[in-house]
A and B are shown apart, each in its own frame.
Chain A
Amino acid sequence: MSKENKSQGLSRRSFMKASSLAGGGMLIGFNLFNSCKPDAQPPVDLANLKYNDFNAFIQIADNGAVTIYSPNPEIGQGVKTAMPMIIAEELDVAWKDVYVKQGILDTKNYTRQVAGGSQSIRFGWDPLRRTGATARQMLVNAAAEKWGVDPSECNTNAGIITNSKGEKLGYGEVVKEAALMDIPEDVTLKKVKDYTIIGTEIPNVDLDNIITGKPLFGLDYKSENMVIASVLRPPAFGQKLESFDDTDTRALEGVIEVIRFEDKIAVLAKDTWTAMKGKKALKASWTEDSRLESSSDHHRILQGLLDGNKFETLRADGNIKKAFSQADKVLERTYESPFLPHNCLEPMNFYADVTDTKIHLVGPIQTPEGTAKHIAGLLEREEGDVHLEMTRMGGGFGRRLYGDFAVEAALISNLAKKPVKVVFSREDDMSDGIYRPSIKYRIKAAIKDGELTGYHLKEASINSNMYGLIPNFFPAGAVENYQVDVAKYDSNITTGAWRAPYTNFLAFAEQSFFDELAEEMNVDKIKLRLDLLQKVKGTSDERIQYSPERMEIVINTAVEKSGWGKQPDGVYQGFVNYYCHNSHVAEVADVVLENNIPVVKKITCVVDCGIVVNPLGALNQIEGGVIDGVGHSMYGDFTFENGSPTATNFDRYRLIRMKEAPVVETHLIQNTHSPTGLGEPTLPPAGGAIANAFKAATGKRLYQQPFNNYPELLRAPEKEIIG
């Protein structure tokens, strides 16, 4: 049962407003992440629903039907289903009476509408519940006034209000009066045990449209007179456009225009194929404006950074130097990762129609607000001129946090004076990426009298270093002398967030290291982790957000459910526990040898993400995250040669497929903690779990990803790996 069943925090007055709709019914505007302006009022006409002052709306019709305009971008993480579920729960309506619509963004006066960092549900949990509960209370108050009874004598169930005399009113029957009521300052939230929607299995709200092929995605969007733009960009990072000849392109039937902008050339055509063909027919020459880098350079540079002394210290406890000088034994290992492209299956694309009066943008974007503002700035226009509509996204994984493709569409449309959709080919998508940077970690541990006395983590990365929370993850707080140092090299190759930034590789490094550390210390692998967690219990260090108690439960559950140590002959296991995105996860990989090649058969995954809003969606995220983690640590191989990627399509870049996907057995820890992230946290542990299992199976310890590049151990024709 939840302790906090009273609403708290923001004043209702500044957080939501209700009004009667011109066409009947009630509209409640509310803000998820910040208070709206004191004078803000929801529009009285649905056609004017522009998200200026509020970022989400509930509409209750005269017939009791509820429409929830879900605010956050949908990238496959399921928020378009889960966020409205939370509102519907506290509003106390039946889910079958709820219709969900994707919210539209209008950037004027608007803040925070982002899909990223696995935070939508975590940040939305309180405001979404309060919104639903406040609306419910207003409906109850209206009914109570009609009946002349005290609201406390009224109850609700599935959209029906009842009183102690047995009278009944549907929400739709009091909605006009409710819209005019004062917004209650203090509402009671449901207890966890009374939930009827949260915790039930609700299918994806777009399911019917997806399986019948309805236009949902950015690539499906069309408008009258729209032209397609295929853009030729510099083939290598470090190059700029010198000159070009578009004679052959212009000779193609269907090509409308060729436009140079920045160091790029856009070919505009009526249809996608002609635009792509026109781009291929361009003859461009390029000059070098900065060095053309190769992966061999990065390897050497990052190695040099790790060996050098140009570090920034992000956290330092005790005296690491002393710990190493007094150690009986020191273990030091280096872990190496490649760049990774995101490879959303829907290639980058965006629609823009820039006219003198407005900038209309449509497409798949994780950061609509920032992108809209950026474009307004670039075109020297008012932010209020920008109208941005979000489409469903064919994957995000961090790539769609960056609006480069939307900027291109806006620039081209502005020059061409036409509505334009920029469409990346797969080759464009893979070679004009904003990649996960190649990173190396070096971890050094001091062991004295059988205890871990020192832990030193060094990161050498490209363009950016780990974000500030990570140095406070495990084993911070568990080791007396502890230090995290970071260094970076500025490259002209664009890099950015990739599903579970930094931890997507750090988890493998750290948890492989702990496996090896246990072997060095000659202690049980699970016991080493549990013993260290004991030292964090009761810590007064507020920087430490992971819970040793919750991690302990997750570890013990994983040991039990995976049959750790009791596996049948021929099954080799690897263990990882990890905390990120506020969730605690443990994974156990089961590996068998087929033709002497280790094959991942199963991952047991235990997750504590607090209350699970939608178990059906949650399991999908968990299984996807685990298999994505297995796939990229096994096969994700992306290198640069003279500024250009060596693979630009799926014939040379391998993604995990059906036959390589292990069985995922998920166990969710049941508790009443507020929900935490789920889109990312199951990915990082997967690589470490299979690496530790490969060690158990073959004796070979892995230090580099992708694992499939270990020739003597793993590389085999696909067929043989599958067995």
Chain B
Amino acid sequence: MPTYQLSVNGESRTVNVSEDTPLLWVLRDHLDLVGTKYGCGIAQCGACTVHLDGQAVRSCSLTMASLEGKNITTIEGLSKDGEHPVQVAWKEVDVPQCGYCQAGQIMTASAFLANNSNPTEEEIKDAMHGNICRCASYTRIYKAVEIAATKIS
């Protein structure tokens, strides 16, 4: 199997996987970073969201060839100990129910707020619309993004 050099959470990692292996499964199965979740495998639910050079992307639909020279950040690398303003806001609001989608929600929100720290209601809802929460904790997700924005701006 081919060898790939990836930059994940500031570290250089080497993996031997088939070229069609999605980043999601490389993270989960080969690098032991299981915070990034599998939900649908077709970029529809957002549970697998990570940052690629700061942009929110669906790791289930990214293959190795597209990742060379890019910086990948996962939920494990977003902050050292959960102190990123988005994570802090998530704690303040007590967002999760089952919690499965929340890493993806947090990764989407943090990339969005990094580019727009003073968003309107419409902009927050647009940004978060791609992430499914099956427990429907949407009111709290919205509130947490709003609070996180005040911490960032």
- Do A and B share a complex? yes
* B-binding residues in A (CB < 8 A): 75-78, 201, 203-204, 206-208, 210-217, 219-220, 222, 228, 253-254, 271-274, 277, 343-347, 392-397, 425-426, 616-617, 620-621, 623-628, 631, 649-651, 655-659, 661, 663-664
Which residues from A are CB-within-8-Å of B139?
A: 623, 627, 661, 663-664
Which residues from A are CB-within-8-Å of B45?
A: 345, 650
Which residues from B are CB-within-8-Å of A222?
A: 32, 34
* CB neighbors of A among B111-139 (8 A): 125-126, 128-139
| B8, CB-defined interface residue at 8 Å | no
The reply to whether B96 and A658 form a contact with Cβ atoms under 8 Å apart is: no
CA distance A658 to B125 in the complex (A): 6
Which residues from A are CB-within-8-Å of B106?
A: 211
The reply to whether A207 and B100 form a contact with Cβ atoms under 8 Å apart is: no
Which residues from B are CB-within-8-Å of A626?
A: 136
The residue that B30 contacts in the complex, of A271, A392, A658, with Cβ under 8 A, is A271
Known contacts A395-B134, A624-B97, A624-B136; A208 and B38 CB within 8 A of each other:
no
| B70, CB-defined interface residue at 8 Å | no
Known contacts A624-B135, A627-B136; A273 and B91 CB within 8 A of each other:
no
The reply to whether B1 and A208 form a contact with Cβ atoms under 8 Å apart is: no
Known contacts A213-B74, A650-B45; A219 and B91 CB within 8 A of each other:
no
Most chain A CB within 10 A, of B21, B99, B131, B140, is at: B99
The reply to whether A623 and B136 form a contact with Cβ atoms under 8 Å apart is: yes
By Cβ-Cβ distance, the 3 closest A-B pairs, closest first, are A213-B35, A76-B98, A394-B100
The reply to whether B129 and A213 form a contact with Cβ atoms under 8 Å apart is: no
CA distance A675 to B134 in the complex (A): 25
The reply to whether A219 and B131 form a contact with Cβ atoms under 8 Å apart is: no
Known contacts A211-B106, A220-B34; A203 and B18 CB within 8 A of each other:
no
Which residues from B are CB-within-8-Å of A210?
A: 96, 99, 102-103
The reply to whether A658 and B138 form a contact with Cβ atoms under 8 Å apart is: yes
The reply to whether A393 and B18 form a contact with Cβ atoms under 8 Å apart is: no
Task: Enumerate 9 A-B pairs (CB-CB under 8 Å) in ascending A order.
Answer: A76-B97, A76-B99, A211-B91, A211-B106, A213-B36, A219-B37, A271-B25, A272-B25, A650-B132
For B122, give the chain A residue with the smallest CB separation: A659
Which residues from A are CB-within-8-Å of B126?
A: 659
The reply to whether A212 and B94 form a contact with Cβ atoms under 8 Å apart is: no
The reply to whether A620 and B34 form a contact with Cβ atoms under 8 Å apart is: no
CA distance A201 to B38 in the complex (A): 31
CA distance A215 to B31 in the complex (A): 13
Which residues from A are CB-within-8-Å of B17?
A: 271, 273
CA distance A85 to B54 in the complex (A): 40
The residue that A621 contacts in the complex, of B22, B97, B129, with Cβ under 8 A, is B97
- A481 smallest CB distance to B (angstroms): 40
CA distance A219 to B41 in the complex (A): 14
The residue that A216 contacts in the complex, of B1, B79, B99, with Cβ under 8 A, is B99
CA distance A143 to B83 in the complex (A): 42
The residue that B91 contacts in the complex, of A75, A208, A344, A623, with Cβ under 8 A, is A208
